[in-house]
Amino acid sequence: MSFGFTSTGNEEAPDAVCLLCNKILANSSLAPTKLLRHLETNHPTDKDKDISFFKRKLESHNKSRSFIEKKFTTDNQKITKASYKVSYRIALAGEAHVIGESLIKPCVQDIVSCVLGESYSKQVESVSLSNNTVKKRINDIADDIELELISRLQACNAYALQLDESTDVAGFWLQFCLFSFAVEQNNFECFQTLSDFLEESEVDLDMEIRDGIKTHLSSLQQSLTDYFPNLENQDNYWVQNPFKIKEKPKGFHSLDYENLIELSSDTQFEAKFRTVSLTIFWSDVFDEYPNLAKQAIRILLPFATTNLCEAGFSKYVATKTKYRNKLDAAPDMRIQLSNLTPNFKRIMESKKQVHP
């Protein structure tokens, strides 16, 4: 300190920084004679200054360094956030990842240069939008959306999955009927392994065994009906308008019916019913009539159409083109199909070190 220097760099083998000219001397130059030579040669007017003078210089130096480091960190975070946001837009639009570097960045530079000036345009250059960077950003964003979705699903009481029409259980239900009829006719072609065994052995199944197979098929059919009931046959008119109830809905417990009658007489809820959607209405009812609300929400929850499945397939076809056949389309599709907005702050904080 008495020679006007402070340390920087590695604590085990620090370098010396001159507080007057900010010149850095290597660790090998920390000998007092070398530090004094620098002071006398480069700052002869300050060589006789009191140590308090150098302490003030050190304080000023530390403040300046802290400001620079803070500004660098802030600028770095802004640049990284810009990179994430542009990558998010690229994924939303379903565009190739190379468009960030080849088109978007040059366009932004042109706009900023014309509107704000050339100096601001140079700052845009530091935003990384290379193909690999955009891919990494999209993966990070997709992971964040997935975590948010899982968090919301864990917090809710029920949720619905939309499946393609090819997964409709109605076809399986009819198959059980056909299988039972075939077994009754002593035709086992639908059970290939059993059919081959009977042909090789040249034997017929006893009636008792066939009856057992038919009973098992009937049991499976009933289980399928229990797991996937036909909603069209349910008496759900009370969900559409609980204030026009004239009789007890089918399958309703007495306590639920009493709560429904009490709800239908509530003028405040009736006024709200006229102004909000069914989903919002039953969500608001939940606090006072939780069991009724749960039943209503489960009825309203299933999707009315297969639009989301069709949209997902369309997005997949558009993303997985012949030019991008090696691309993992899952992260891009998650962003395109989700209505959740990524939390960029959380994404950046989850990284140990922010890179522009």
- Across the range 51-65, mean pLDDT stands at 73
CB hemisphere CA count around 323 (13 angstroms):
6
- Please state at what angle helix 330-337 crosses helix 131-155, rounded to 10 degrees: 60
- Across the range 71-95, mean pLDDT stands at 83
Residue 67 has pLDDT above 50, yes or no: no
Instruction: Write down the pLDDT at residue 89.
Output: 94
Most confident of 155-159, 251-255, 287-291: 287-291
328's CB contacts (< 8 A; 6+ apart) are none
CA angle 296/298/299 to nearest 5° reads 65
CA angle 22/26/27 to nearest 5° reads 120
Answer whether 348's CB lies under 8 Å from 87's CB: no
Q: Which of 140, 75, 157, 130 is nearest to 342 (CA)?
A: 140
Most confident of 4-8, 47-51, 177-181, 275-279: 275-279
End-to-end CA distance of the chain: 37
DSSP 243-281: TS--SPPTT--HHHHHHHHHHHT-HHHHHHHTTS-HHHH
Q: How many CB atoms lie within 10 A of CB 29?
A: 15
Sequence letter at residue 174: L
Instruction: Write down the pLDDT at residue 59.
Output: 77
Give me the percent of the chain exceeding a pLDDT of 90.
14
DSSP 5-49: EEEES-SSS-EEEETTT--EE-GGG-SHHHHHHHHHHH-GGGTT-
- Across the range 59-66, mean pLDDT stands at 68
**Is pLDDT larger for residue 68 or for residue 29?**
29
User: What CA–CA distance (Å, rounded) separates 71 from 157?
Assistant: 46
| pLDDT (tens digit per residue) in 153-208 | 888 776 666 665 555 666 676 788 888 888 888 888 888 888 888 888 888 888 88
Q: How many CB atoms lie within 10 A of CB 272?
A: 14
Find the radius of gyration of the CA atoms of the chain. 36
DSSP 277-299: -HHHHHHHHTTT-HHHHHHHHHH
**Is pLDDT larger for residue 138 or for residue 168?**
138
Secondary-structure percent of the chain, ordered helix, strand, coil, rounded to 5 = 65, 5, 30
Instruction: Write down the pLDDT at residue 172.
Output: 72
pTM listed for this prediction: 0.53
- Across the range 333-337, mean pLDDT stands at 88
- Please state at what angle helix 307-319 crosses helix 330-337, rounded to 10 degrees: 140
